């Protein structure tokens, strides 16, 4: 990940700044159920406003497939954003053209306006240059504060960075610095906790991490496939048996490259997957034929705590068990709290990301105690896979033009 420009590198006073954020927040019955993405962008919006810029907020919301869909308007989000900022925020009925320009013209320095869903235009996701030029006409400077959208080469996430002087917002800056510290220039030893249901969705990730970390802790349904690949019976557990050869290849590659793959010593099994279902702890090699693995066991959780205590850096993506359904949350909760305690004591840099991961850490009550928890899903995963993110690469490119 190359260097990138930040708000420290530009004078925004008297300028109109287009700020790409991620306001694709979860909503139910017209109300936002999780405002983390809003709170994360407040430092950037406050700073730009305080420095006298006209602040123009761009975002997508849901998947309207390139046409206006009233239920996917950003208008309801404007009120929540205004409350969070502590100031009124006008709303423009479009993200380009006269409605957007008129709303911007009415702004005073320090004012903030929210434009309508960028994905109401099909050209947005096509990264259409003509559409990008129309959007660029609205501002003098472009700021990207949406790492969670940086894996998409869309007009508002990538093309604008080539048409206007482009900078990382404070949320993007913090995210990139933590990601660099976690994998690009980490303090060793480095551990990665990789969980989730299927190995098939994490093959590229595992292949990249083997070369970058010292230990990979595998949990969730993924671990079942690796246990099966080692010749252990997994009963009725979720298991991609067709990937056993792939799992064995990964295990061999890890040995060759000096990366330890950690699988659970004991597991929690049950005959059915439901809250409060009768369960028991068994050694990983003694899973009953009529039962399924739904969590790591206490011996495994304790061992992982010892492993993390010997590490300096942790990257976490994916739960270790079916944490949404007690009692199968115990393993994830125990290890998460251990990582949080090590972080609090200054012994561990901990970076986590992915939707299920954030939910799991919140369930454990430690999301605020990790060094950094990313709100990104796909972008965080692609970064772990070693892929270049278009939205980040654009910020690292030479400045396209001088500020107007």
Place of tokens 């300096």: 312
Show the tokens assigned to 132. 């990008």
From the list 198, 236, 248, 312, the catalytic residue is 198
Q: Among 139, 172, 205, give the residue marking a domain's end.
A: 172
119 is in an annotated binding site: yes
Same domain, 164 and 197: no
Q: Does 280 map to a domain?
A: yes
Range of the domain at 58: 7-172
271 is in an annotated binding site: no
In tens, the pLDDT along 1-49 reads: 457 899 999 999 999 999 999 999 988 887 888 888 999 999 999 999 9
Domain count, the chain: 2
**Beta strands 266-270 and 279-283, pairing class:** antiparallel
Same domain, 137 and 267: no
Residue 86 annotated to the active site: no
Residue 37 annotated to the active site: yes
Kindly tell me the number of DSSP H helices and DSSP E strands found in the chain.
15, 17
Any idea what the CATH number is for the domain that residue 298 is in? 3.40.50.1260
From the list 188, 355, 365, 404, the catalytic residue is 355
pTM over 0.95: no
Same domain, 191 and 335: yes
Q: Does 33 map to a domain?
A: yes
DSSP string, 61-112: -S--TTS--GGG-SHHHHHHHHHHHTS---EES-SSHHHHHHHHHTPPTT-E
pLDDT of residue 27: 86
In tens, the pLDDT along 204-260 reads: 999 999 999 999 999 999 999 999 999 999 999 999 999 999 999 999 999 999 999
Longest alpha-carbon distance in the chain: 70
N- to C-terminal Cα distance for the chain?
A: 28
> What CA–CA distance (Å, rounded) separates 195 from 100?
43
Place of tokens 């006269």: 98
Same domain, 110 and 254: no
> What CA–CA distance (Å, rounded) separates 349 from 347?
7
Closest C-alpha among 360, 330, 217 to residue 268: 330
pLDDT of residue 403: 38
As a residue count, the chain comes to 404
Q: Does 244 map to a domain?
A: yes
SS3 296: strand
Same domain, 203 and 161: no
In tens, the pLDDT along 108-125 reads: 999 999 999 999 999 999
Place of tokens 């692609």: 382
Section 86-108 average pLDDT: 97
Within a 10 A sphere around the Cβ of 70, how many other Cβ atoms? 7
Show the tokens assigned to 14. 């008297």
Residue 134 annotated to the active site: no
């Amino acid at each position: 990940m190359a260097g990138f420009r930040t708000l420290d590198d530009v004078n925004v006073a008297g300028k109109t700044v287009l700020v790409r954020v991620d306001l694709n927040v979860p909503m139910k019955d017209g109300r936002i159920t999780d405002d983390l993405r809003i709170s994360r962008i407040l430092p950037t919006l406050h700073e730009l406003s305080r420095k006298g810029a006209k602040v123009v907020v761009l975002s997508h919301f849901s998947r309207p497939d390139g046409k206006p869909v009233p239920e996917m308007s950003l208008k309801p989000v404007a009120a929540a954003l205004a409350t969070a900022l502590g100031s009124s925020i006008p709303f423009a009925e479009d993200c380009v053209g006269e409605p957007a320009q008129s709303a911007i013209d009415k702004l005073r320095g320090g004012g903030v306006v929210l434009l309508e869903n960028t994905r109401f235009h099909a050209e947005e996701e096509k990264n259409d240059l003509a559409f990008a030029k129309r959007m660029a006409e609205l501002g003098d400077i472009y700021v990207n504060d949406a790492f969670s959208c940086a894996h998409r080469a869309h007009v508002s996430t990538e093309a604008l960075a080539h048409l206007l002087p482009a900078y990382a917002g404070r949320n993007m800056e913090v995210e990139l610095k933590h990601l660099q510290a976690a994998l690009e220039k980490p303090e060793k030893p480095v551990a990665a906790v990789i969980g989730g249901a299927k190995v098939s969705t994490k093959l590229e990730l595992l292949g990249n991490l083997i070369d970058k970390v010292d230990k990979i802790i595998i949990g969730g349904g993924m671990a079942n496939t690796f246990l099966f690949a080692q010749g252990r019976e997994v009963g009725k557990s979720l298991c991609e048996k067709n990937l056993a050869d792939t799992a064995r290849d990964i295990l061999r590659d890890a040995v060759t490259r000096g990366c330890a793959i950690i699988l659970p010593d004991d597991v929690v099994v049950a005959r059915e997957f439901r809250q409060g279902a009768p369960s028991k702890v068994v050694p990983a090699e003694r899973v009953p034929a009529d039962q399924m693995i739904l969590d790591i066991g206490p011996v495994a959780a304790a061992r992982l705590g010892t492993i993390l205590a010997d590490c300096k850096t942790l990257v976490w993506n994916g739960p270790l068990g079916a944490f949404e359904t007690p009692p199968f949350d115990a393993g994830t909760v125990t290890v998460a709290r251990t990582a949080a305690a090590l972080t609090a004591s200054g012994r561990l840099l901990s970076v986590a990301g992915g939707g299920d991961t954030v939910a799991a850490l919140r369930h454990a009550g430690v999301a605020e105690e990790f060094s950094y928890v990313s709100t990104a899903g796909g972008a965080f995963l692609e970064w772990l896979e070693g892929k270049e993110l278009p939205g980040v690469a654009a910020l690292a490119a030479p400045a396209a033009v001088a500020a107007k």
